[in-house]
Structure 1
């Protein structure tokens, strides 16, 4: 019998492989829409493959849980691949939402969320999480953890044909 974690990993790998194939076949297609479609399309597979994945036939609630896991994994994949390009976009939306009348001038937005404050905040977070180090002369260097994670994300983005939005 395979564990639920192994079954979830198999479902995630299926989605990753299908998204990579779709990106290779249609490189100009919207990768984010592709991820959503594949997540939805593979859900019936997750529902009926209980015997293959778990070694037992599940009841209706167990199959519904497998469908939910598959969709959640698709959501994870979507979020993981979009996060590097979308965090600034989301922050801009939040700043506008919190402004009086949900409106700001470009200068007002820059005062609330400038490139300088964004970079300083990100550097502090990455240093605290030990993804990088900042030397006394302000030189920024990736740690072993930062190198590994950077390669991991970059590989996924290359696999799916995602170029930077900048």
Structure 2
């Protein structure tokens, strides 16, 4: 994905159909503060959230298109029967996450207003880093799942899942502003 600054992000928000309340609450600079210039080339997905982290937008850079998808995020709580947090496998990057680092992300089909779609996901939403084995969680996951895929195949699988998400939610790509 190309590097995105606040002005460019605001142009994308203006073009999107995202509710004004969500647009006002987003913390762009805080959400991307951990990224270096070189990191942008290896990103397919970035989450821009509000202060509490429970509402935001996913910024997807797929092929030559950019998508903004509003979401609601919830940490997974303890199981009612055992009292323990259950580990999950992220529906996007297929990384095994302990219950304390897992959550659910819910999307609403903006165009049709149809029912919500919920996915299990990494609590940090750093799936682009997990598929490239850049995090300790991804290294732990490789041993838990005994996965012998290389990073390129993981990246391809991740992109396919993001494409499927965009198609399922009927999201249209945003027009990139002229530079």
- Could you say which structure has the higher helix fraction? 1
Decide: shared fold, TM above 0.5: no
TM-score range, shorter chain: under 0.3
- Could you say which structure has the higher strand fraction? 2
What TM-score, normalized to structure 2? 0.26
